Structure 1
Amino acid sequence: MPEGEKLTLLFRRYFTAALAVIAALVLAYCIYRLRYVALIVTISGLLAYLLAWPVERLELRMRRQFAVTIVFSIFVVLLLGLFSSFVPILANQIQGLIDTVPTMVGHLEQLASSWRITMIPGREYLIADYWPDFTAMLEERIPEILANMFNYTQSIVTGTATAVAAILIVPLLTLYLLVDSARLKRSLIEFFSMSMRSDVERAIDSVNRSLGRYIYSRVLLALFVGVATNSASSTR
């Protein structure tokens, strides 16, 4: 091979590798900027993998849309039942904390009123002696405190809106993935040439089986830990 062709081939290889690295960096940056969207898609995909096995079993007896509706409805009912079992425990813990707050505040007030500090030999200072200075400083910082409270409230509202949107979008996206999974698979395979489609289909099936087994094992482990924790908390 002539020296010029070798240099051209080497340049093409390095140029292709550089383009691949740049594309990977751009993709990573886009995923970072859209990390909430990526998280929603990931959660929906995991739920779709989790519910795909019972849907496929029911699909042998009925249409896929009916199978998806039945399985997803049962999953929502079970999820609500599991969540409702944890609500009383959490409510009891919060109520216990609220009940102890007045006692803690009373102890702190007694401690503050009786705490004496000896800063100069022969003279003692009470915490109450510093109260006028504290209130004056508080009045000066009221605008800053209000601004921080506004920013904090805005962050809470934004986070709540994002969480509500995710709660609404995840079920819809999960239903879409369950109903149109076969069409999505065909569309993905059609991106490749005819000679590669059979290999791509086998690779997708292998990944589906491996990932499905992994997800089911982790879900069963999480359910076992959750049930054991709930049982231990309820017996206390």
Structure 2
Amino acid sequence: MSNLNGAYYGPAVPPPKKTYHRPSRGGGGCFECCCGCIFSLIFKLIFTALIIIGIAVLIFWLIVRPNVVKFHVTDATLTQFNFTGNNTLNYDLTLNITVRNPNKRLGIYYDYIEARAMYQDVRFDTEFFDRFYQGHKKTNVISRQFKGTHVVPLGAEETKELNKDKEDGVYGIDVKMYLKVRFKLGVFKTKTLKPKVTCELRVPLKSAGGGGGGGGFEVTKCDWDR
């Protein structure tokens, strides 16, 4: 044993394992982080814009205090309303309508006013009012006469209602108004809006002597259609 040269003759020593550093596939983490930041910023901007718009609307309302325009039929004169053969209606109806703008700062352009007279949900005449501008806190009176003949087909229920109106001497006539309006605030004007107004009337028929079978006409408030 003394003449051994010191070399190792035991089991082979395994070589050290080599480690490989693969490129990281997590490079998208930075991209996802950036996207998250962008989306968060967009959300905050939208939320802030909504708050600003809400505050602006509130301030506008507090300054302008817009009120609903009021329509009233103050007088309705019906001198003829009778049916002849073939459901032909002969009519003569005159209306006076007041339009009230209660707003202190808003003016109104009435660019188009169409009025449809209806009986038993059937239109028997259409008239148009002149266009006009209405200033702040103003009341205007508009008048029209509906006169002529028109075929109004009536079923059993409608004929029953007509006979009842004849007995009462008062006729249920609806007037539907189709408008095109613009609002003015200072030098600013809105786009054209197209509201509708319905006036449900009970109009007494005036006799040849000038009297009404059902008494006088009562002032009637018109409603805005939703």
TM-score (norm 2): 0.26
Which has the bigger relative contact order, CA under 8 A and spacing at least 6? 1
Length-normalised TM-score, structure 1: 0.26
More strand by share: 2
